[in-house]
A and B are shown apart, each in its own frame.
Chain A
């Protein structure tokens, strides 16, 4: 590709890239939150075998590089199982599972941080396990976990940039293309960086707001 100046159309490209990044982030966040919370509930019910299996899968997902997981899903599994895999599908699968693994860890630790006395106080009045989870455990666990979840999601937003290596046209990939075309790495990567920063800041701000609301009953007022 021949080198060329910036054009106004590049702004559209950047906006499209940002859209792809945010879209993938939102989709994988929703799937990841749902899956991770579901795994946490399965563990809460002490479902045998399934719980051990989930813990094992989460363990693997947490302790291996996302890039390796992405290559495995995009190149490895399709080759081995003779499947078709588009870059977007591979990205969604990998990032969702990765988010789910960390959501699971956060869910488990925040459920366990709620004293046994809370479960007992509800069980003695005849609430079922589900009612205890729904009315007593989940609201408190959620309030505990919003902080770590926000940190996780801010990080996962940055991690989405990895999918550019398998050809998804996200913000990082658009940045790479613009850079090749204009040979202006400083300007291109500064702009791309600022866009990531703004998106991350938005996630962090929303998380902080939600946390404040959910923890209204126990506002931490310093030591």
Chain B
């Protein structure tokens, strides 16, 4: 379980997260919606320990990300996929995937490589294991990014706008894979602007607005007139997103 309790985060004078509470149970797909600057990325970065909290607590399976000695365990349980892929450019696709399993989990290299190849094959990149990031398309890079996170066998996948740097065709490639993962029971925290897709795969949808969690509802309720749509800000946001 990922538990975000009353988290506050400010950059200098700017409060970005203002008392956020969120629980993600194993098996759930929770999508985070919200306009640009509402604090979605910051929330993800707090969960994986890239930002220090000003107040509140975040635990991943009871490991407190603010405690240095817990952070390593917390990080082993969550895998992050980045908006701009952040692949290591000096390593091949396969090396990108095996680095953390070998170094952090101390897996034997041959085993890690066999698993890495299987992961690449499962996302349709079986023949690109030895390609460098500069030799891959955006969609291919992001698929490698997803494999890199999955190779750590995380219990939770954190995804921050993983398709927003991709064109529609490449977006579809990546979303396909995420849909399969969701169907397979992978727990995900999914920041996105792909409303329709979020609607298809999410068990719950939360809406962030100016650092506050305005709405946290099961998907069907979120899109119901009496549920999420009853919130003017949500209705406004959704109608704007659909127009774009």
Contact = CB atoms under 8 A, between A and B. Distances in A.
B104 A124 contact: no
B219 interface: no
Interface string A184-223: 0000000000000000000000000000000001100000
Interface stretch (B12-20, B26-34, B79-87, B178-186): B79-87
Given A124-B48, A127-B100, A136 B88 contact: yes
Interface in A89-146: 117-118, 120-127, 131, 135-136, 139-140, 143
Interface in B186-211: none
A125 B86 contact: no
B165 interface: no
A131 B82 CA distance: 20
B132 A125 contact: no
Contacts of A139: 90
A45 to B, nearest CB: 15
B127 interface: no
B79 A217 contact: no
B50 A127 contact: no
B82 A121 contact: yes
Interface residues of A, number: 18
B84 A117 contact: yes
Contacts of B48: 124
Q: Is the interface of A mostly helix, strand, loop or mixed?
A: helix
Contact of B132 (A120, A121, A127, A217): A217
Interface in B136-158: 148-149, 152
Interface in A10-44: none
B134 A124 contact: no
Contact of A126 (B75, B87, B91): B75
A217 B136 CA distance: 12
A187 B62 CA distance: 80
Contact of B104 (A125, A136, A140, A143): A125
Interface residues of B, number: 27
A118 B100 contact: no
Nearest to B99: A135
Nearest to B75: A126
Given A120-B50, A217-B132, A218-B132, A125 B90 contact: no
B124 interface: no
B88 A121 contact: yes
A126 B103 CA distance: 9
Interface in B69-95: 72, 75-76, 78-80, 82, 84, 86-91
A125 B89 contact: no
A161 B82 CA distance: 52
A125 B82 contact: no
B39 interface: no
A218 B90 CA distance: 8
A218 B136 CA distance: 12
B86 A118 contact: yes
B75 A124 contact: yes
Given A124-B50, A126-B72, 6 more contacts: A118-B86, A121-B87, A121-B88, A125-B100, A125-B148, A135-B103
A-B residue pairs, 9 tightest by C-beta = A125-B100, A121-B86, A217-B132, A126-B104, A126-B75, A124-B80, A124-B48, A117-B86, A139-B90
16 contacts: A117-B84, A118-B86, A120-B50, A122-B100, A123-B75, A124-B48, A124-B50, A125-B148, A126-B72, A135-B99, A135-B103, A140-B90, A217-B89, A217-B90, A217-B134, A218-B134
Interface of B: 48-50, 72, 75-76, 78-80, 82, 84, 86-91, 99-100, 103-104, 132-134, 148-149, 152
